[in-house]
Chain A
Amino acid sequence: MKKRSFPTRVEGVSKLTGKSKYIDDLKFPNMLHGVSVRSSVPRGKIKGVSFKPGIDWEKFTIVRASDIPGKNVIQVILDDQPCLASSHISHPGEVVLLLAGEDREEVLKARDYVELDIEASPGIFSIEDSLAKKEVVWGSDNIFKEYTITKGDVAKGISAGSQVIEGSYSTGAQEQLYIENHGVIAHASDDGSITVWGSLQCPYYVQQALREVFSLPPEKVRVVQTETGGGFGGKEDYPSIISSHAALLSYKSKRPVKMIYSRAEDMEVTTKRHPSMSHIKMAVDKKGKITGLDFEFFLDGGAYATLSSVVLSRGTIHAAGPYNIENVRVHSKAVATNHPPFGAFRGFGAPQSIFALERHMDVVAKKLGIDPVEFRKINVLKIGDTTATGQSIAEEPGYHELFSTVDELMDFSEKSKSFAIQNKKNPIVKKGIGLACFFHGAGFTGSGESYLASIVGLEATRDGQVVVKASSTEIGQGANTIFSQVASSALGISEQSVIVARPDTSNVPNSGPTVASRTTMVVGDLLEKAGSSLVSTLRTTGFLGEVYTEREFFEASGKYIDQFGSLKSYVQYKQPPGIKWDEENYQGDAYATYAWAVYAAEVSVNTLTYETKVDDFVAIQEVGHVMHPTLAEGQIEGGVAQGVGYALSEKVVWEEGLMKNSQMTNYIMHTSADVPDIRVYFEEKNQNYGPKGAKGIGELPMDGPAPAIINAVQNALGSAPHFIPMLPEDLMEFMEASSES
């Protein structure tokens, strides 16, 4: 059999050799440096601003809300977030004023001489306080969004069980910690147009936000993505804010303005994963079949609505897990607090509800005295079963096989029993093993892809290349490489002859945001279609035969261009027939397809120091066709590493809504010395969607690690916390409380 070979990363060499230019590497002539003047209090009324003596204020450009030519909003979903606060403060770090000057250090110094007079009022910082309306900080009731999913009759389902087990779970905020901080350069030119270059995921989102702030038509706003050092969702919506700010400073100063956040500023004010709270009531019959699930799910959205409604949506849909349960009710709310707004982060709400459900599965199994794997086997979705939204599963997830593979690789069932005996002999180190069984929907939810109506293009050039035109961004995940592969295979030419155009709204169509595990599956699929269509055009016109070499292809495309001027193929997304989604009632086909996975962790808990070490980790997933094994494994390993941190170390320490540990020294992301070997396995059975059958995988690995690890801790100790992050300090408290009760 011929071994498949895979291209190296398209931009790999330029990144390794330092040729790639990130935003802070760029210096434009006459460029100013911009900084933000921020509120130090979480909530209050703005009474005034004073510029203290000691600074030559003439030297600085100062922008306030009254300088905004268009609407004072950051356009996301609702228009509730001002671009610059003018009357009220809703979170610490909210920007009131912008400053720009010749020298970055001078501007930073000047910032200390701006005094904001704010009449502070009490803020709220927890989901409980928000729900109790301890203070009403947003709208009339602090509720950004509420959903209810109903399947069957949950009351009937709960009473049908022989046992009803309840549990409450919570998860903390998590910082994305992309390597490159937020940064942009903006230029407002004399003809009234705006250009922004920056580190970002979604150029067209930024364009839309700038259009609102400046009241400009799309052709007057250009957004260019520069080489981007990671995003993980953190550069989905926030670039709209920093871009608007830099553009306003440029608009007023008539000069290019660079804004780069320091690491501390980035960690304090930009978005993080939503903290969550879940209450689960689950009824199980004597055979271990779940008869009813009642799931209450809450997210802390922070001060403004931003993306919270869609994060909540994904968390709500994933709450019932990959289980076939007849009677389900999931009721969810995203609530307002005075934290800086939470936002997109790999997984997008799903890791939160999946943590709660998968921990609960082990809590219930323990209570019923059933093996946690057997309990899941009784309940997992099979082909033809329906999810909580009533979506009929059209492919076989194959969970029984995934469980068998875990068993083969880790001796899972044997260990889950033998560790108990082994632990009795070792008073210090307790071993445990645990798993999580989950799914992740690929692409936008429901009719989202229809609304996006993404467009992807291919254009052949005279000098023997084909250019991919899409706004999907390379953010370290390998999008450029995957696009080259897809286009090369669809066109029958080598990857070297495919060029991926830099995402620039003046040069590429809107292929949608780079989020939701959609780039390979949805955008890649459009690209494949564009490729086939381009080849078919060449064949139709007789320039290209059925069988051809690369040279023949470019001879043909050259002739075509000579005769017709250009050779292009643009394809727009059309929803496949048969997909139905009822947005009103949250019923129907929530996602085109899902990735199916079982992740398992083996841990050691040190009872002297309460430290939990992950000794072994196995990640098995069915993701359709694997386009590029190295990149795919990298995605899974990176996601698992983030998941291990989410579970065990990454704790945001809050004080009055502000992150106190905004340094990498004190916000503990794991290093390579902490992360275990991660064993990654792919099943490639269901190849019905995406290019050559590739489903989305980007977010999947974030969902499973936390519940698998804490379930392993339960296996080691007999019980384990219902919350993450679970730091050694937390585990100590938990163990002391358990031994008392």
Chain B
Amino acid sequence: MRNSTSTLSMTTPEDLSEALQLLADTDKKWIPFAGGTDLMVQLESNLLDGADFLNIWGLFELQGIEESDCEVVLGALTTYSEIRSSEVIKSEFPLLYQAAGLTGAKAIQNRGTIGGNIVNASPAADTPPALLCYDAELLLSSSEGQRWVDYQDFHTGYKTHALAPGELITHIKLRRGQEKKFNFYHKVGTRNAQAISKVLFCLMVQVNNSRIEKFRLALGSMAATPILMDSLRDAFEEQEFGSDLIEKGLSILNEELSPIDDIRSTGAYRKKVTLNLFKYYMEKIYVGLGQ
């Protein structure tokens, strides 16, 4: 059942500093409202009783994509559509570019933001695995100051995260020079659009003379949070690419993954498909290396 709207309030700050001042009042039940694409769904399921929405949609400080020599910084309000029309994202961060194109449908992409996608903390969210592969960093701001955290440390459990009371994600930083040879983003959704993922598979591999220099595998819908497979990174980096390594990866995944059954899919399916995709894309890389 839908929330009774009479219990809800919405405040629209003029600028970021006012927004952070307001957030500092921790007696309020603040929920920052950016594109609202996730909040509207929660409203319909009666999950937001008594919420004080902070309408940050118009905050200019959180908009736009800035490029410098060594990094690209996205304002937290960057929409999926803006990601889709950014040249630098398209050419240097293809995993993120693809993820944005597979989220919801056009209307959602116009309204949904990357900051919102992160803070909503859904294990099934489309962009987090890409951000994990790129070792993204988040700028968390409050009326007290700012701090950078590694995105990998942000999600602490199912729908919980490292934001302190009064803090807001304001920017997302990606380091440039990550144009890797092999990038694979594969979303297995319930349908081709307006779909929540059943499996998100995001793989980035840099190989130099058959030696793996960088290896990232991030997965969505496989655990309580989006996950980066550290164990594979540790096992694969600085190793020679070979079929034995693919086997090793499969056995690590088989051991470490234990996704759950839910309304959208089964744990058995999620795991099996992840293993299938891993084998498929790793063999593709292997073939691509000419071996």
Contact = CB atoms under 8 A, between A and B. Distances in A.
B91 to A, nearest CB: 26
Contacts of B266: 729
For the side of the interface on B, what is the size category?
A: 20 to 34
B191 A666 contact: no
A109 B264 contact: no
A672 B191 CA distance: 10
A608 B276 contact: yes
A608 B273 contact: yes
A674 interface: yes
A661 B263 contact: yes
A79 interface: no
A673 B192 CA distance: 6
Contact of A609 (B1, B194, B273): B273
Most buried by B among A108, A608, A653, A666: A608
For the side of the interface on A, what is the size category?
A: 20 to 34
Contacts of B105: 671, 673
Interface string A102-145: 00010011000000000000000000000000000000000000
A208 to B, nearest CB: 32
Interface stretch (B2-10, B80-88, B216-224, B247-255): B2-10
Given A728-B269, A732-B272, A671 B194 contact: yes
A611 interface: yes
B190 interface: yes
A428 B6 contact: no
A670 B191 contact: yes
Interface string A643-675: 000000100010000001101111010111110
Contacts of A378: none
Contacts of B47: none
Contacts of A610: 269, 273
A322 B209 CA distance: 65
Contacts, number: 71
Contact of B280 (A608, A671, A733): A608
Interface string A413-445: 000000000000000100000000000000000
A49 interface: no
Given A609-B188, A671-B194, A660 B263 contact: yes
Most buried by B among A109, A611, A674, A729: A729
A664 B41 CA distance: 11
Interface string B192-205: 11111011000000
B24 interface: no
Given A108-B4, A262-B2, A732-B269, A671 B263 contact: no
A665 B122 CA distance: 14
Nearest to A671: B193
B73 interface: no
B273 A671 contact: no
A87 to B, nearest CB: 27
B191 A649 contact: yes
Contacts of B41: 665
A673 B264 contact: no
Given A671-B192, A673-B192, A732-B272, A666 B5 contact: no
Contact of B263 (A649, A653, A728): A653
B194 to A, nearest CB: 6
A673 B187 CA distance: 15
Nearest to A666: B263
Given A608-B280, A660-B263, A671-B192, A109 B269 contact: no
B264 A666 contact: yes
A262 B1 contact: yes
B277 interface: yes
A78 interface: no
B210 interface: no
Contacts of A674: 191-193
Interface in B70-101: none
Interface in B1-51: 1-2, 4-6, 41, 44-45
A729 B266 CA distance: 7
Interface string A705-737: 000000000000000000000001100110000
A729 B180 CA distance: 33
A673 B4 contact: no
Nearest to B280: A608
B196 A665 contact: yes
Nearest to B278: A608
Interface string A617-660: 00000000000000000000000000000000100010000001
5 contacts: A108-B2, A661-B263, A666-B264, A672-B193, A728-B269
Given A262-B1, A609-B277, A671-B194, 6 more contacts: A264-B1, A609-B199, A609-B276, A661-B263, A672-B193, A732-B268
